[in-house]
Chain A
């Protein structure tokens, strides 16, 4: 009988009685997906800001703004999930230092501040210009955002560039930390064989980079189509190279981890193999590995090998990026939900009960996933990140 307050999961074999209610649902799938997109988008931006890859200039500021919009919504799936969200700050005020999760408030807080600061420096010349040009409330708004700093002389800009560089440098280990930490959350638990892997932080980190890069590719192409401007082929090609390399590495890591698990064949492996060979075929082998990782690698390899240019190159890269985004979402799903579907008894399998309208249901998760992009739509109007905007000319 279904209680309105919780959904119980059907099972086969033997599972502990309390396991029939899943602790974590699709919101906890969305949470690492969002942090991954942040880390990846920031990486793309840093490749320009820190490593000087000039070809990425058309997307550098856009990627930074995207990272900020996503990061603002990172806590939302967690707050929706908590039994007592009003107590969330308990973990910040009295952190329990042995808990990886206690670090979230600090990591997230640090990263939001870093992203706000870096975006402020990047868009400061634009804000100053708008504050001087615009009349009325919009002028006052930009004036307020300038925080009294209206100096855009070459000396001031040089100072700003140093800050942007420093923040981007700090942001790289920050982004790695933010997402490596998420991997540690799962990998450090010894209660579930499916999660308990030393490779988890690395896999999470690299899958974060590919998802963020893929997102920037897709958003850039879509934005160019909407704005009816030419897509910079050098830029998208460099992102595709980055994507290819990191997807390859991530795929190798994922397969190595899976191979390790199977080869070691510790207690409960029979149940895991039953899970893998039945329910995991579509979400893992077909979607995450086949469609989402192998197909983009082959597509991109063919494109590079044949030196494809123009429309075919752009369509090929964009489709590959969409597939990578799907692959990483499936990876999050297969880790979080898959791990819970394998009972801790090692002798049973549960079936995740899907919920649509519940506080932690699919609709809530989808809303959390869409919300950052609605914010981005607003933000690009306030802070145009395009190469042809004044903000880009000064950096």
Chain B
């Protein structure tokens, strides 16, 4: 499995799918986040590997 973490929320998705597919599965918009794996930025076509922990950083701020 692959773990996606956005703020305090965690989501689990199957390995082997793209980041974009994983985000869609979790109901997260790619336009509002940057995804990192082991400190490196990854983009929507990245294939997620078994055991990956993907930290999603929210881009939205302000008020």
Pair from one complex:
no
